[in-house]
Amino acid sequence: MLAFFVLLPLVVSAFIALLMRNSKGHMKAVKYIAFIASLITLGLIAMLYLNYNNLNLNPVQTMTWFSFAGYAFTLTTSTLPLNMLLMGIVGIITPLIIIYSMGFMNAPSEQPRYYFELCLFAAAMLLFAMSGDFLTMFIGWELLGVTSYLLIGFWYQRDGPPQSARKAITIILIGDILMLVGMLIIWNAYHTFTFSLLLQQASITNPAMGLALIFIMGAVFTKSAQFPFHEWLPDAMKGPTPVSAFLHSSTMVKAGVFLIAVLLPLFAAYHLLYLLLIFGIITSIIGVTNALTEMNIKRILAYSTIEDLGLMFIALGSGSLIATMILFVAQTFYKALLFMGAGAMITANNYEEDMEKMYNSPRYFTLFIAILIGAASLAALYPLSGFFGKAVVDLSVNNLAVYALLLLLQFFSAIYIFRWVFAPLHRRTPEKKTIGARANYKTLPKTMMLPIYILALLVAVSGMAIYSFVPTYLKQGLAVAIGTPDILLSVTVFILGFFVALGMFYFKDLAVMEGRRPAYKLLYNSILTNYFYGNLVKLSLLISSVLESIDNTLYGLIKEGATNVREFGNLIKKIETGNPNLYVAAFVVGLIIIVAVFIL
């Protein structure tokens, strides 16, 4: 099938990277091979876009994989607009991540393994993006889990990454099992995995489909870091920063959002949208509160991603596919920009990730401007792309209380992201000046800066592109189109949040919130979540030990009973002597006992 050819360059370059371990020259060549492969992939995706109408192909194509018990299992690809949108995002972000990695990952010995895993990760994203049935999707779903595990734990020699990778894969594995159960229920009920055929059943109520959708929703929550499965995502920041940028901006954490978007008519038909809305609200609140109190520069962005994912589920729960996908696209660019900016700051500050110990040098004024554009977009400043992404979500809800909550979350988003911007700046207090003066600010490679500038331009320009797109198309998907009152309200909320952050975290230098403060304990609920996880594990171990004790007791009783029966049998065997006189005597005694019993 034509769509599968898009995967070939990345898969081939991945295995070339795996084999090129002979010399330093080969190791250095790996990154260029990966970059060329990503450009070829982007070119193939562009060809699909440009020749979409001329190819005259069925957008949903199937290929028989194997047959069993009279049923044919197929691999199905889809080039419907939703799939093409996701493929385009992966195609654009992949070469930018690889260029950035050329400057960030500078150890030659690490590069073959890194680019093998990175290219395979990108191929898994594309396979997931083009999937047209559950079977193809599940292959991509599993590859995403495995490759993200490898990349999060890439620096396995260190203390943190292996534990973070295990935590991520454990939670994702829970979702994999739930997904597999849902798929089996669907196959048992419909004998098909194809999305287009299943969507035709939306008007026919079937309890089996309702149950399967609940399992699928649980799987989606694990992959897309929704409450209560969200805590693996901040811990995943132990991996390389380009991986974090790829993980958060492209398909991996938004895979669940995309799957729900594909199956949204089914979730609406079975009245499950309200669950998406409720969990989206809870997750968004958790993301905002933790971002307000976290000090690690990458973990703050991870919590902001959790907030963004929650907003996407709020849009899905409101039944607005268009609002979801506009935020989906807008979040891609500003989140990649912010993570790359964070990586540049970390590199320049000798790999320091604590905001209180970092210093933003005036030498990199252009980097600061790019980061400022990304932060303003996340805080929904008009006319940047983030404004349109979040404005359409606000307009998609039909509940005034939820709308007010979204505006409040937008206000706090502006506070925490500009806290993120202001904290590394050169502060006015003497002790902070000392930190800034001591900072050994490194020179950043041009390969790290180029993608940042490109993404800053995309964030700035794509907002106007969406704006021109809104009047003609958005009105069809939303009850109300974006108007001047919405722009003024969003700008007002942004200004309030900006000046609150400026006063608290720049002039007053309140970036550090100590653990003993009540506000910290209330807002930083990550501690409570991990405490819950820990106690859940302890409870599971306690239940396991109790069951083991019961099992051992039952085994002991059965073993003891069997021993007694065996010994009684051995005792009975002793009366079998072969002496006829003894047998006659035993017969007479038994006869007398029987007669006596009958007489009594």
The model's pLDDT over 113-155, given as tens digits with 9 standing for 90+, comes to: 889 899 999 999 999 999 989 999 999 999 999 999 999 999 8
Side chain identity, residue 446: K
C-alpha span between 201 and 204 (Å, rounded)? 5
pLDDT exceeds cutoff 90 at 525: no
Backbone angles phi, psi at 72, to 5 degrees: -100, 125
CB atoms near residue 536 (< 10 Å): 11
Q: What is the pLDDT of residue 437?
A: 38
Between 435 and 96, the more confident residue is 96
Distance in angstroms between the alpha carbons of the first and the last residue of the chain: 92
C-alpha span between 349 and 425 (Å, rounded)? 12
Between 30 and 314, the more confident residue is 314
Q: What is the pLDDT of residue 433?
A: 45
pLDDT tens readout for residues 535-548: 888 888 999 999 99
C-alpha span between 78 and 86 (Å, rounded)? 11
C-alpha span between 96 and 99 (Å, rounded)? 5
Calculate Rg over the CA atoms of the chain: 31
Mean pLDDT (the chain) is 85
C-alpha span between 56 and 35 (Å, rounded)? 31
pLDDT exceeds cutoff 90 at 339: yes
Nearest residue to 138 (alpha-carbon basis) of 215, 39, 244: 215
For tokens 């030659």, the residue is 108
Q: Which band of pLDDT confidence, cut at 50, 70 and 90, is reported for residue 478?
A: low
C-alpha span between 90 and 78 (Å, rounded)? 16
pLDDT exceeds cutoff 80 at 524: no
Taking a C-beta distance cutoff of 8 angstroms, is the pair 271, 184 a contact?
Answer: no
Taking a C-beta distance cutoff of 8 angstroms, is the pair 12, 41 a contact?
Answer: no
pLDDT exceeds cutoff 50 at 216: yes
- For helices 365-378 and 400-422, angle between their N-to-C axes, nearest 10 degrees: 170
Sign for the CA dihedral angle at 308, 310, 315, 321 comes to positive
Q: What is the pLDDT of residue 378?
A: 94
255-275 burial, b at 16+ Cβ within 10 Å, e below that, comes to bbbbbbbbbbbbbebbebbeb
Q: If you average pLDDT over residues 85-105, what whole number do you get?
A: 91
Q: Which residue intervals of 105-159 are DSSP H helices?
A: 111-130, 134-152
pLDDT exceeds cutoff 80 at 327: yes
C-alpha span between 402 and 390 (Å, rounded)? 13
Least trusted range by pLDDT, from 224-228, 515-519, 546-550 = 515-519
DSSP state of 507: I
Least trusted range by pLDDT, from 179-193, 525-539, 547-561 = 525-539
pLDDT exceeds cutoff 80 at 438: no
